[in-house]
């Protein structure tokens, strides 16, 4: 099993179907360690057990142009006033009122053990 560390920044903003992003209304952070067989399973576990959102890869983006940003996963979805995900079936019934956009910026790190006998004492 591999160890992953996630640092999540969530920006919540008013959502209007015609104007899309409105004023920012909330911001929260989460830091989490997750153990999984691979990165994909770790991301899915983060969404399912900590963020309580369903993970859809097509909503995710990675900045491929900048190596300094290549470990950051950007993800957007719609939530209600309680920060609960709006499912596709609910979007039609919501009439787009009382919805909020949730932009997640997720920094992802894989944690590896360091062999101190080779790297620390042999300076």
pLDDT tens track for 27-86: 999 999 999 999 999 999 999 999 999 999 888 998 766 666 678 999 998 888 888 888
CA–CA separation, 7 and 51 (whole Å)? 12
> How many structural domains compose the chain?
1
Residue 46, pLDDT score: 97
Give the pairing of strands 72-79 and 100-111: antiparallel
95-106: per-residue pLDDT in tens?
666 788 899 999
Q: Which domain holds residue 30?
A: 2-119
Fill in the DSSP letter of residue 54: -
CA–CA separation, 76 and 60 (whole Å)? 7
15-27: per-residue pLDDT in tens?
876 666 788 899 9
| Contacts of 122 by beta carbon, 8 Å cutoff, 6+ apart | none
* CB atoms inside a 10 Å sphere around CB 96: 13
Number of residues written out for the chain: 123
Residue 17, pLDDT score: 67
């Amino acid at each position: 099993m591999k160890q992953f560390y996630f640092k999540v920044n969530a920006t919540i903003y008013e959502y209007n179907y015609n104007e899309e992003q409105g004023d920012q209304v909330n911001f929260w952070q989460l830091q989490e360690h997750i153990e999984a067989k691979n990165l994909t399973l770790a991301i899915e576990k983060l969404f399912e057990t900590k963020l309580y959102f369903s993970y859809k890869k097509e909503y995710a983006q990675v900045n491929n142009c900048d190596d300094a940003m290549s470990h950051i996963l950007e993800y957007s979805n719609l939530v209600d006033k309680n920060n609960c995900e709006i499912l596709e079936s609910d979007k039609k019934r919501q009439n787009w009122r009382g919805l909020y956009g949730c932009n997640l910026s997720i920094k992802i790190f894989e944690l590896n053990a360091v062999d101190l006998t080779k790297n620390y004492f042999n300076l």
